[in-house]
C-alpha cells in the first residue's frame, strides 16, 4: 500500500496541487493520473459505450460484457471522486475486474459532477438510469430484474441514496448494494477524521471541499439522502461493505454497517488492515485489492442467482 501511495503521489507531484487550481484544470489532472492507473486488468468479451436519454440529457454509459452470453445480470457501478471529479474511465480497471470476477455485465453511468450540478441531481440521474434499465435493458442484452448497485467513496453514497429513493418511490429495487469505503455523513468530526486527516491519500480538507461543492447548505448536508447514515435504512437490499482501515471515512463506515444491521439489512463488512482510501484502484499493485474484488465477485454471483 505504501509503495502504491508513493507511485500515486509521484504522479500527482508532476502537477500543481489540484485543490488550488480552477476546477476544469484540476479535473484534467485527476483524469490523466487516474486513467494511467486504470490500464491493464482483465479483457472483456465486449465493451460498448452508449448514450441513453436519462433525466433530460444524453448520459454516457460504458458497458463491460465479460462473456458473450445474453442476457446478463447487471452491476451498475458508480465511480468515486468526491462527486466532483474522476470518471467511468479512471475506474475502468476496477469496473472490468468486477465484471470478470462475477460474470455480471458491469455498467458505468457518467453521472453529473458537482459543483456544476449540486445535490440531488446526481442521485436523481442514477435513479432514472436504473428505471431506464428496468424498461429497456433487454435492448442491451441485460436482465435488469437481476441488478446490483455499487460504488466507491462518493459513488457508494450515491448507491445508497439511489436505493433509498427507489424504495420510497416504488422501485425497482436492486438485489444488493456493493459499498466500498463510502461517504455516509457530512459530520467531519469523527475520530478517524482526526487520525487520518493528512498523509493517507484522502484528506480531511478534501472532504470538506467535496461536501461544500456537492451540498453547499447546512440543510442539504443534513438531508438523509445526502447523508444516508441519518436515513431510515429499513427495507434496503443486502449489502457488502469493504472498508479501508487508514481512512478518514473509516468510522462512518463502521457506523453505517451497524445502522444497516440494526435496520434488519443483511450486511457483510470487511475492514482491510493497513489500507488507504481508494485501495481498490490499486489492482495490480496491492494484494488486498485483488482479494476484495474476488470476494465481491462471489457475493455478486450469489445476489443474482
The catalytic site residues sit at 153, 247, 277
Q: Are 90 and 35 in contact (CB under 8 A)?
A: yes
Return the C-alpha cell found at 298: 462471489
Q: How far apart are CA 297 and CA 181, in angstroms?
A: 17
Q: Are 196 and 248 in contact (CB under 8 A)?
A: yes
Residue located via cell numbers 446478463: 72
Q: Vertex 280, ends 193 and 248: CA angle to 5°?
A: 0
Residue located via cell numbers 454509459: 61
HSE-up of 230 (CA within 13 Å, CB side)?
Answer: 12
Amino acid at each position: 500500500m505504501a509503495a502504491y501511495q508513493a507511485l500515486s503521489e509521484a504522479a500527482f507531484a508532476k502537477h500543481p496541487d489540484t485543490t488550488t487550481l480552477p476546477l476544469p484544470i484540476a479535473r484534467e489532472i485527476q483524469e490523466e493520473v487516474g486513467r494511467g492507473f486504470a490500464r491493464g486488468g482483465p479483457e472483456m468479451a465486449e465493451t460498448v459505450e452508449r448514450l441513453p436519454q436519462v433525466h433530460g440529457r444524453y448520459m454516457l454509459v460504458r458497458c463491460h460484457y465479460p462473456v458473450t452470453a445474453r442476457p446478463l445480470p447487471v452491476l451498475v457501478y458508480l465511480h468515486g471522486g468526491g462527486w466532483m471529479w474522476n470518471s467511468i474511465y479512471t475506474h475502468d480497471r476496477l469496473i472490468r475486474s468486477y465484471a470478470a470476477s462475477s460474470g455480471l455485465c458491469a455498467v458505468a453511468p457518467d453521472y453529473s459532477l458537482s459543483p456544476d450540478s449540486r445535490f440531488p441531481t446526481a442521485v436523481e440521474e442514477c435513479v432514472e438510469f436504473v428505471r431506464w434499465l428496468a424498461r429497456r435493458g433487454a435492448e442491451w442484452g441485460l436482465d435488469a430484474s437481476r441488478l446490483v448497485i455499487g460504488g466507491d467513496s462518493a459513488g457508494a453514497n450515491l448507491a445508497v441514496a439511489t436505493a433509498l429513493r427507489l424504495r420510497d418511490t416504488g422501485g425497482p429495487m436492486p438485489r444488493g448494494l456493493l459499498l466500498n469505503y463510502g461517504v455516509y455523513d457530512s459530520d467531519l468530526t469523527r475520530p478517524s477524521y482526526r487520525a487520518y486527516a493528512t498523509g493517507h491519500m484522502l484528506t480531511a480538507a478534501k472532504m470538506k471541499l467535496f461536501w461544500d461543492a456537492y451540498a453547499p447548505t447546512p440543510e442539504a448536508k443534513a438531508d438523509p439522502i445526502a447523508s444516508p447514515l441519518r436515513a431510515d435504512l429499513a427495507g434496503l437490499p443486502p449489502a457488502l461493505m469493504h472498508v479501508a482501515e487508514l481512512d478518514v471515512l473509516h468510522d462512518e463506515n463502521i457506523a453505517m454497517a451497524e445502522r444497516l444491521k440494526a435496520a434488519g439489512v443483511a450486511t457483510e463488512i470487511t475492514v482491510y488492515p493497513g489500507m488507504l482510501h481508494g485501495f481498490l484502484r490499486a489492482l495490480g499493485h496491492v494484494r488486498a485489492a485483488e482479494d476484495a474484488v474476488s470476494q465481491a465477485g462471489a457475493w455478486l454471483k450469489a445476489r443474482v442467482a
